[in-house]
A and B are shown apart, each in its own frame.
Chain A
């Protein structure tokens, strides 16, 4: 019997799993997709907000500010980039400036440190490529950017390193209450007995709550579309640039990414679909129109990928975190909208408190450790490059030429605890396929490495989700 089953392998599920792995507990994570970090976690802005946006005295305010501190420290320990680039909310008129002052006050109330109100001259000195019509900005130095899926995967790997089990392709289809807990049934017919359930099912959290008759909230997905620009556009902005909300929209940002690209977006489209991540001409045109207020210097020919992601908004104003009022030992971590990524680490930490309050007794482990990060060859010095190639010649075979990712790194990813079986799984762990060729060159090579590693046929290798095969059939064979 498990102590805890976590439903959902997104950034929240992974953070919770990592925090729980510090204790002598029997835990597992059930993920619907064929890899973790496959839902909201894989398509968002990647911003770790400073925390001036949420209303004071909300969970969002508290967990955002705490999460901001934790994420920076954690990224250093996990060996993944956290770029503390700071954020600017820019103003164009006196109404906007009033909004900035309100945000500043809110930030103070929420415990955000180091904020400054900048005048036009100082703003343009720091961000010379902005629209010259700006009149000022709220600067928050603690905001940063991360790669959301690397944060998720690194935390999950650390959880797995310390004994948490991960089951992929394991959509939960039934939850039965039993005297001492629950029996969770997955789509493949497997049963998991557990004392506690943590519902971190993101866009599907309300449906999972429904399985135990505890659906007292609803998820309303909201789609956002983005452009991701080539690293050659990195000169555009130094920090995350937000605009003040207007009647036309809120939140189109222009920001550097953890890898050094520029991200532009998102819009916000209400919809009922939980899996519609298609982009539209109208949506992308709207984003460009809004972003052109921030800076007129974006060259959209530098776009390497447009994508859409879904926010797990709910009918509640705040995050829904805590034991369900309708079901004992069923703990919701739901409606984790923005600033969800920023808060994820703090949510993990907070869950320890919640479980303890629920009566779970936890003993800390003595031999807990972080999972070893995958080498990043591109960032090594010449001496280190020479050294690692000597130890393992596979690091001398560059597979992804856009981001200089080697076969050594891809083999490391394949040897992870939570094994990637798809091209996108390799992408999310190594940064290959993420460059300007978007897999045009390296995709075929990685396809070959996956075939060889798993001993499967080329037709069996998937791009990402089920049935997303890469090649259809072998030619020239007798049929």
Chain B
């Protein structure tokens, strides 16, 4: 068994940003463990542009964005273990295997979880129908196309209007496939507005809102798909069926943080985010284990992942440099009020906050004009006006220490619609 100060699991955007931030904060003995053959994570297959506007002020492709961090990494002596899979975490001992080194263990002073997320597939959304093959998650089809150079099919229907699905509608069209339809069960799209315009409208790909797939036809390979309109309870309306002859169904129906290792390490998971419960320093319930990026909660933009992960890296470095002392403050929990589905962090230690803390959250529904209220013991301690909020766009409020000191107990974040005058 070897010993290192910080072990980071995952060399995607979260792991890379955390590593570099921790390094710059003064901890030099850092190891990143990556299961793939190269660093960069999912960015490597995202060859479209649109990354980095916030972080670097320019539009980059996924691999370009990753390359910026990989270049920074190459200027450090952070150790990167590629083709290596973590199989378990037990206390601060990380067990892993690789073709190069076999089974190995590292004892770490601090661990940063940055494993990312995976796509929701057919199981949890109950697409009924035959066993005909050709149902792929959009990301899997993206990997076959952008990494391996193969189209999974020639006639495609896409279920779900998440960004990966929209991007793949354009991508497969450009490579000669016919994308017949995108069906979205909600009355609005989940993807960014620019992706709807640039990936569907520009290519005349029809978008069916309030529609879902109600049958998959085919015994060997897919032969067709039936979509139906749904009512306000998302139940299919009989008589609204439309059939498409196609060989492929892509699913772009959401992402789920990949926390199997986190769970096996006994770290408490928030059922709202499917990620660990963390404090303002990105530390989980286990002292010295931090989490950041999509393993913690699913982000809209990689730029936000990088920012969050830098906080995790800096705080992990602080933890190591201060002699690995667990925090001693009193935790204040952040509750979800009206129309708030989750917050990150879920708890804060006010004594540890220097100037202010950023609270990230998602709302439950689209609201045009509203106030975000922060309440403690019945007292509004802060209130923020927003012109528009939607579930697909992560919200952020910044709470200054001065206001937090007024909190007498746990605090609640809620959304209040401003009635039109």
Tell me the A residues contacting B by CB distance below 8 Å.
228, 232, 275-281, 283-284, 300-307, 382, 385-386, 389-390, 393-398, 401-402, 404, 406-407, 436-441, 443-444, 448, 458-459, 463-476
Contact = CB atoms under 8 A, between A and B. Distances in A.
Contacts of B128: 278-281, 283-284, 306
Contacts of B143: 444
B338 interface: no
B35 interface: yes
B92 to A, nearest CB: 16
A381 to B, nearest CB: 10
A304 B125 CA distance: 9
A406 to B, nearest CB: 8
A279 B129 contact: yes
B270 to A, nearest CB: 14
B85 interface: yes
B148 A389 contact: no
A467 B149 contact: no
B154 interface: yes
A396 B151 contact: no
Given A284-B128, A386-B103, A440-B140, A397 B98 contact: yes
Interface of B: 35, 83, 85, 87, 95, 97-103, 105, 118-119, 121-124, 126, 128-134, 136-137, 139-140, 143-145, 148-154, 175-176, 214-216, 219-221, 236, 247-248, 260, 263
Given A469-B221, A470-B152, A440 B119 contact: yes
Contact of B102 (A305, A390, A473): A390
A467 B139 contact: no
Nearest to B140: A440
A468 B132 contact: yes
Contacts of B103: 382, 385-386, 389, 396
Contacts of A472: 150-154, 247-248
A407 B98 CA distance: 11
Contact of A468 (B83, B176, B220, B236): B220
10 contacts: A279-B129, A283-B128, A284-B126, A284-B128, A382-B105, A396-B98, A437-B121, A444-B143, A471-B151, A474-B149
A121 to B, nearest CB: 31
B150 A305 contact: no
B145 A475 contact: yes
A441 B219 CA distance: 23
A471 B118 CA distance: 21
A473 B98 contact: no
A440 B139 CA distance: 8
A96 B123 CA distance: 33
A280 B87 CA distance: 37
Contacts of A303: 123-124, 126
Nearest to B121: A438
